[in-house]
Structure 1
Amino acid sequence: MLTLYHSPRSRSTRVVALLKELNALDAVNIEVVTIPRQDGSGERDPKNPHHDGKVPFLVHDGVEIWESSAIMLYLADLFPDAGLNIPQGDAKRGSYLSWFAWYSGVMEPVMVLEAANLTHPFIEATFRGSLEMKQHLIKHLTDQPFLTGNEYTAADLLVHSPYSWFGKPGDPVIDAWLDRCMARPASIYATEFDNKLMSQ
């Protein structure tokens, strides 16, 4: 049994989009929970087993998986027929895995620190900066439509997702990639799914 703990308009929204892409919504129980939010609203939900009270959190037959990168890698491999993963043995598997690690280790910290107006040479030396992050994306998207080539994968879904909150960076190469990702039916579905939850 698969259970996703989800809160609307949060980091778990991208996992709902992935489940739609994987045609796996019928295989997963989505448990809606509350979370503390940056504006002071919300609260930790006793129904949520995540150790920090956050989302997303996935439980598969009693096994707990946390952090968006791990959950999305896990689900894409669990439902390979959708073609959202790059399987073991494929030459592009290493690049595909690297995007998940880069998102967690570089991209999200850089974007959060930038949004908080926090700068320091130690931070920039550790994570790189916004400019380097954008240059890395441009390098990989200039001659191909998606991060690992011609096919959209779960890596594209994860890496493009924070721009839904922060907005497009204004670079034509990155913005065109974001348009391709955001126009996918699964992304639209996840937004509508959350809007219905918020209106209840």
Structure 2
Amino acid sequence: MLTLYHSPQSRSSRIIRLLIELNVLDQVDIRIVTVVRHDGSGGADPSNPHPEGKVPLLVHDGAELWESNAIILYLTDLFADKGLGRPVGEPDRGSYLSWLAWYGNIVEPVLVFTAAGLNHPFLHATFRGAPEVAARLTAQLEKTPYLMGSAFSAADLLLVSPYTWMPQATPDVQVVRDWIERCESRPSARQVLEFDQGHMPG
């Protein structure tokens, strides 16, 4: 049994989008919960078992998984036949794992401290900055239309997500903008918006 704790228009929306891409949304029990929003709205939901009251949280047969990149890896391994991940044994498995880890370890921290206007040598030494993130994406997308090659993968789904939340953070680089447009032209981009709109608190 798969259960996803989800709050509309939050980081867990990308997990809904992944379930749509995997064509398994109907196999997952979606539990809508509230979370504390950046504007101060919302609040912790006592029905949400996430240790920090956040989303997403995936529960599979009683085992809890949190953090988007871990959940994405788990689901693409679980539904490996759908072709959105890279199973163990495939030559580019390491690249796939690296993109997922790079998002959580580098990209999101950089985008958050950049948006907050923070600038400190420790931050730059540890994470680098937005120009380095843009350069890494550009270097790959100048070679292939998607991060893993010629086809859309869950790595693209994860890495494109912050630029759909914060379009102002989008690098002014044409190959990156073209990649975002390709990702967002997929039906799942519209379907996840419709899902969230239909599940907003009354």
Partner of 2:138: 138
TM-score, normalisation: structure 1: 0.98
Q: Which residue of 2 aligns with 1:5?
A: 5
What code does the residue aligned with 2:47 have?
A: K
Alignment of 1:72-87 (within 5 A): 72-87=72-87
Q: Distance in 2 between matches of 1:107 and 1:15?
A: 18
- What does 1:58-97 align with in structure 2 at a 5 Å threshold? 58-97=58-97
- Aligned-partner Cα distance in 1 for 2:54–2:46: 11
- Mapped to 2, the partners of 1:47 and 1:106 lie a distance apart of 31
User: What CA distance in whole angstroms lies between the structure 2 residues aligned with 1:59 and 1:108?
Assistant: 24
| TM-score, structure 2 normalization | 0.97
Aligned equivalent of 2:103: 103
Count of aligned pairs: 200
Cα deviation 1:18-42 (Å, max 9, x = unaligned): 0000011111000000001110000
Give distance in 1, aligned partners of 2:30 and 2:183.
Answer: 23
- 1:179-199 deviation digits (Å, cap 9, x = unpaired): 011111112111111112227
Counterpart of 1:59, as a letter, is: V
- 1:25 aligned partner: 25
Q: Structure 1's 199 and 59: CA in aligned 2 closer, same or farther, altered over 3 A?
A: closer
Measure, in 1, the Cα distance between the counterparts of 2:144 and 2:186: 17
Runs of 5+ in structure 2 lacking a partner?
none
Note if 1:38 corresponds to 2:38: yes
Aligned pairs for 1:102-181 within 5 A? 102-167=102-167, 168-181=170-183
Q: Deviations over 1:28-58 (max 9, x none)?
A: 0000000011100000001100000000000
1:117-161 Cα offsets, whole Å, 9 max, x none, are 001111001001110110000000102110011111111100110
Q: Are residues 1:48 and 2:38 paired?
A: no
Identity of aligned residues (%): 55
> Hey, what's the Cα distance between the residues in 2 that align with 1:126 and 1:169?
21
Matched, 1:189 2:173: no
Q: Describe the SS at the equivalent of 1:15.
A: helix
User: What is the aligned-residue RMSD (CA, Å)?
Assistant: 0.9
Segments of 5+ residues of structure 1 without an aligned counterpart are none
Q: Which amino acid aligns with 2:174?
A: P
How has the CA–CA distance of structure 1 residues 40 and 113 changed in structure 2, closer, same or farther, with 3 Å as cutoff? Answer: same
Q: SS in structure 2 opposite 1:4?
A: strand
Q: Residue by residue, what CA displacement relative to the aligned partner does 1:69-90 show, whole Å, maximum 9, x if unpaired?
A: 0001101111112110111111
Match of 1:157, as an amino acid? L
